[in-house]
Structure 1
Amino acid sequence: MITHSRPFGRALRAALLGLVALAVCLVPAAAAHASPAKKTTPSASTAVARARVAADVLMSSYDPDKAWFPSSWWNSAVALETIGDYMQRTGDKRYLPQLENTFEKDQGTFPAGVLSGDPLLGNFTSRAIDDSEWWGLTWLQAYDLTHQKKYLDMSIKIADYVYGYWDTSTCGGGVWWNAERTYKNAVTNGLWIRLTAELHNRIHGDRLWLSRSTTAWKWFVGSGMINSQGLVNDGLNDDCTNNGQTVYSYNQGLAIGAGLELWRATKNPEILATVRSLASAAMTSSALTSNGILTESCDATDQTCDDNGKQFKGIFMRYWTDLVDTTHNPKYTAFLDRQAESIWNDDRDAANRLGTRWSGETSDDHPNVFDWRTQASALSALIGVIPQQAPKQSLAATMSPAQPVIMPAASGSTRITIDLGVSATGSRPITAGSSVRLPSGWSVSPARSSVRLNPHGTAKPVYGSIPLQVTVPADATDGDNLITATVTDGDQTFSTQADVLVAHKIDFDTGTAAENPWLFDADGSQSNGVQNRFADGNSHFTYLFPFPSDAVSATVTLTIDAEFLVQVSSDNQSWTTVLQEDQPVTDGSNKADRTVDLTPYLGPGSGGDKPVYVKVSDNFPDDGWGGRVYHVTASDTEG
């Protein structure tokens, strides 16, 4: 269910943040503008490695205190289910404790605004019936992974609750979308069929859930929500006819997934025939694909997907993967492969985050968006291309920081340290040799090296690193400069790129790719699009400005509003308050450009620069309207 609550997430624990330190730029953001190239399917071990890198980035956004992904309730269920898919597909079980954490902490009752815009009624249920169903599927995934009966029991409790909203008195059947019984739609009923069929397929001797699933499928197929083109519209009008509303990818995917699970229970060929018809329509319709890439209607470059739409395509790919696994149809496999390759080659930013537009398209007014929701969505496609019998051996590489910034002095070179991270799974020791390629005139030490890793299976990948000392000449070109590192062990090879920004000025909108290199610590802050980053409650966000060694003065101007608290530090330890809003302001009426003199806080730093940290947080943490920044500029004067 769509809600419009502000985030309440807190800072991530240091151990979890350490995972994102291994995330790195493998393809620059500018790749989105490159001409389409012929895609090749990666090896099975590479597919595992790619998914591991992307999964680690996703889980860096998990809030262990509130046991969710900040600011979205149903989206958190889908993200956790996606991580469950990853663990099931790869054998990497590192994130089982997070599933357990969420189950134990969030199964109680909560008032509106804590975890959801709606009050939570206990057992992961609320007035939003579809939200409840998402959690039911998540706990069935946890049951499959752990075989712990408590997860199955929770899914049954959720399904029992949902069944209370199955109603034959309106439109002859179907589950209501909400507790107010105002709408019968595709998502709620697709979820219901899948949930009940999954329950049947996991409960020995069941007849009850099979009966309910079969009844719901017959009703859904006959409801009219599947239009004459084989596409699923959003729902029904008050007169029980197709409302003709948007064909969303997740509705199409859920219909496919619902049919597949019920077919496994019944082996009814008519169900599988309907699934194939839905799949063919999805691959050929301009409503869902563009140049062979799955595309949501809000992916148009003159639009921006909301926080719900960001995850729709991933839900489609979860059930498309099921279709590939079930039918082994090469057409379906090729479609899946194309999505994963486009995401990996064209839709990653410099921190290995995966964007909402899988083609990589962007525009100035509606740029491609990267956050944990888009990460979870695209990760589903990367998981799907891993063979069902995943290889035990895999090798991945990352670099940290992903987007280092250099503000050169008037003369002399600059040196930075980049850690080349290497991770592996397998049953034998690995000696990963590395080589590095740099822009002309740059140098690195060591240019070649190796790291020894001793993995013990797939359940817990092992990690190692090689520190790289990179020297950047004074005349380095402003803009993005790629450093490419390749690690090799036998027939396994993985390449990664750091995107070094050389800059003489600071000027960016928040919520855009231009913000990322300067964003030292996003903590629990959120961005809902261009010119929008805010920190509510106990969250914050910190920018790092590495002013050059010859800087003698500096200023920063923030376009800011709401209940902000702005602090400055030269070491990220001792903070001085420089701006704060003393009144509770929630309507943006205090939005203004505010300039701060940074001269008293200029370094020196360990790398010869003069770093200044600027942290924005919430001066009234109890009401959820913390500092919101739209635009940042900063400048310095050199001696």
Structure 2
Amino acid sequence: MSMSRRSRHVLLSLTLTLAVIAGLQPVAHAGPPGGHPDDSADTVSVARARVATEVLLESYDQEKAWFPSSWWNSAVALQTIGDYMIRTGDRSYVATLDHSFETNKGPFPAGERSTDEIYGNFTSRAIDDAGWWALNWVTAYDLTGDQKYLDMAETIGEFMLGFWDPSTCGGGIWWNEERTYKNAVTNGQWVRLTAELHNRIPGDTAWLDRSLDAWDWYQASGMINDQGLVNDGLTDSCASNGDTVWSYNQGLAVGAPLELYRATGDPELLAAAQRLADAALGSELLVRDGVLTESCDALDRSCDDNQKQFKGIFMRYLTELADTTGEARYQDFVDHQAETVWADDRDSSDRLGQRWAGGTSAEHPNVFDWRTQASALSALIADVPQEAPGRSLSATTAPDQLVVMPSPGTTSAVRTAVQVAATSDHGRPTRVDVRVTGPRGWAVRPARTRLVLPTTGSGTPARATVPLDVTIPAGTADGSYPLTVTVTARPGLSWTTRATVQVASSVDFDAGSTQEVAWLWDAGGSGLSQAGSRFADGTSRFVYKLPFPAEATSAEATLTIDNQYVVALSGDGEDWTVVLQEDEEIRDGSNKADHTLDLTPYLGDDKAVYIRVTDAFTADGWGGGVYHVTATFGTD
């Protein structure tokens, strides 16, 4: 039977699990030791960042080695994972970065990785897309010391250099190959990248000269307005267009002179970075009630897939400024973002949303996907001290959302698991106590387990997984019920996580709602549209699992769906039959309608039916979108 990515990860680790429970000592991954003695807030910050990274990686497509359907967004998400590893000493995902490098360094036709053709070496007609990949590979070089990453970043830099054009506006990098726009993001990247290359290439002078020239041009371009905020770009007449102040442009404007300051030691460059950061923190255009807020975060608006990642880029460079200056105002802001995200912008599956201060509306709900996860993860990474604590403890459940459609008068059973991760600042194993509690009358086995995790002083955590069998009493009313897992280790480490069991007698949910989460078996890189649908563009997909009760002999489902959909059904999540397909390239939702599907032929031994939605025309980015799902079943 098919299973979600997190479930696959858990079950693949059961052999290790049983060994750990038995007290054996598998070999831990190597990594650098931690830093200063434990502080409870610091150990929690590491655990939060680790859990959020694990959730982000659930959306990583192992086959294509990216985060589905977003080329430049994948570069930023991968760099965030690199930031996490550098900050915490956890080296769990070095192979993931390398896999992405080796898989994606060649050319791809339009529609395969981007709507644009990818020329090779992570370049395309979108110059800023190439810039994000270059910055990512510099981070990979800093993490590993592997020269191939720095060489690739320099290759991308040489490609971008071809779009520096003094004949228009006196300088600056063009945003695209057609040379239609000079903007803040591409030029902020350029200053930062050229300074990074200089700082890592022994004996360089050429990249430093380019960086200094670019910074002089950037400051004089007019994109930085009188308030010290960065507008989006320049008009055809080379004046500021006064367009939206986005957090990522402001962040790059902080990070660019900061890297140049490292290259030159010029205090004016550090002062410039601080002026730009202070302008952001003091502006209601970017900060509301102390929380970093994009203009599209308003409750009557929605952010598109690009804008979802902007705030994380700002936090990356503000964190560097806080580290460099030691200024309390920057560190206080960083701490507040992390606390707010964790308290107000986290759902029951530890997904992090778009609106860091929380808040949602029926027409413009707060969105939780891998892009918002990567962005908010940067806030959690920022809260980890420069010298990460050597000890930490965390736990997650997988699956963390389960659905039961019980048969009348009989008990029901589900299985989940808890994965425990720990690091130590010594070479001794870590003993962990795991306690699980459920609603009154429910049985959870085991309710208590003691583990010995083979921690060795590495920043990379030792892990173990404990399967949990849950029995639900007959007659349990419809509703959501928590299983609470608390893990503790001496001295003073503790972490609590949850799984939620949804008991349901019928299927009825809106896409993107909290009710949808339990039915969503595999998000598969799908997204949520501003119109209220879950959509699958390009090679992405999503799968709903409907676990009908044992007495079901027939079933049907009704999907409200539009655009370029392909709907397939399965009884095991592996063998699929296409039952519904749009054969026209509909891009405006004009074919939105209810379609009823006969699920009866797919009722297998366990009575679960899987519904998969993909894109009928993978090259154009208008895949199938589902708004609402209902299902009913019959018995003989």
**TM-score, normalised relative to structure 1:** 0.88
Which secondary structure state, in structure 2, belongs to the residue aligned with residue 247 of structure 1? Answer: coil
> Are 2:506 and 1:505 equivalent residues in the alignment?
yes
Superposition pairs for residues 396-475 of structure 1, below 5 Å? 396-426=394-424, 427-458=427-458, 460-475=460-475
Q: How does 1:441-590 map to 2 (within 5 A)?
A: 441-458=441-458, 460-490=460-490, 491-529=492-530, 531-535=532-536, 540-551=541-552, 553-562=554-563, 564-573=565-574, 575=576, 579-581=579-581, 583-587=583-587, 590=591
For residues 101 and 628 of structure 2, what CA distance do their matches in structure 1 show?
39
1:266 matched residue in structure 2: 264
The separation in 2 between residues aligned to 1:361 and 1:500, in whole angstroms, is: 25
- Matched with 1:18 is 9
Could you tell me how far apart the structure 2 residues matched to 1:207 and 1:531 are?
52
Give distance in 1, aligned partners of 2:64 and 2:436. Answer: 41
Distance 1:16 1:218, change over 3 A: farther
1:470 to partner: Cα distance: 2.8
Equivalent of 1:199 in 194, 197, 200: 197
Question: Does the Cα contact within 8 Å between 2:305 and 2:371 map onto a contact in 1?
Answer: yes
State the alpha-carbon separation in 1 of the partners of residues 7 and 498 from structure 2: 22
Give the C-alpha shift of residue 525 in structure 1: 4.1
Whether the aligned pair in 2 keeps the contact of 1:136 and 1:154 (CA below 8 Å) is yes
Secondary structure of the residue aligned to 2:458 is strand
Q: Which amino acid aligns with 1:181?
A: R
Task: Report the CA distance shift for 1:20/1:563 in structure 2 as closer, same or farther (over 3 A).
Answer: farther
Q: Could you give the per-residue CA deviations for residues 110-162 of structure 1, whole angstroms, max 9, x where no partner exists?
A: 22222122222222222212111111111111111221222212111211221
- Cα distance in 2 between the residues matched to 1:510 and 1:169: 50
CA RMSD of aligned residues (A): 2.8
**2:112 aligned residue:** 114
The aligned residue for residue 122 of structure 2 is 124
Change (3 A) 1:538 1:551: same
Where do 1:572-611 residues align within 5 Å? Answer: 572-573=573-574, 575=576, 579-581=579-581, 583-587=583-587, 590-602=591-603, 604-605=605-606, 610-611=607-608
Quote the residue 2:218 is aligned against: 220
Structure 1 159/564 Cα, relative in aligned 2: closer, same or farther at 3 Å?
A: closer
Shift of 1:488: 0.2
Picking from 33, 47, 51, the partner of 1:53 is: 51
**Preserved contact between residue 334 and residue 383 of structure 2 (Cα < 8 Å):** yes
The answer as to 2:235 corresponding to 1:237 is yes
Provide the rounded CA distance (Å) in 2 between the counterparts of 1:243 and 1:620. Answer: 36
Letter in 2 for 1:68: W
Name the count of aligned residue pairs.
Answer: 606
2:162 aligned with 1:164? yes
2: CA distance, partners of 1:325 / 1:21: 39
Moved more, 539-548 or 350-359: 539-548
Deviations 1:549-572 (A, max 9, x none): 454543211123455444444443
Find out whether 1:615 has 2:616 as its counterpart. Answer: no
**1:416: how far off?**
2.3
Amino acid at match of 2:545: L
Of the structure 1 ranges 390-399 and 445-454, higher mean CA displacement relative to structure 2 is found in 445-454
Shift of 1:458: 3.2
1:362 pairs, out of 360, 363, 374, with: 360
Question: Could you tell me how far 1:537 is from its partner in structure 2?
Answer: 6.2
Shift of 1:594: 1.7
- Whether contact under 8 Å (2:405, 2:548) holds in the other structure is yes
TM-score of the aligned structures, taking structure 2 as reference length: 0.88
CA distance in 2, matches of 1:16, 1:132: 34
Q: Is the CA contact (8 Å cut-off) linking 2:154 and 2:197 kept in structure 1?
A: yes
- Give the deviation of 1:637 after TM superposition: 4.5
The CA distance in 2 between the partners of 1:331 and 1:395, in whole Å, is: 29
Letter in 2 for 1:501: Q
1:349 lines up with 2:347 in the alignment: yes
Contact 1:48/1:90 (8 A) holds in 2: yes
SS in 2 for 1:398: strand
1:23-42 superposed matches below 5 A: none
Q: Counterpart amino acid of 2:515?
A: A
**Aligned counterparts of 1:413 and 1:524: Cα–Cα separation in 2:** 35
Q: Distance in 2 between matches of 1:160 and 1:16?
A: 43
Q: Percent identity?
A: 56
Aligned partners of 1:252, 1:437: CA distance in 2, in Å?
Answer: 46
Q: What is the identity, as a one-letter code, of the residue corresponding to 1:470? A: V
1-structure distance, mates of 2:570, 2:107: 40
The structure 1 residue matched to 2:84, chosen from 86, 92, 96, is 86
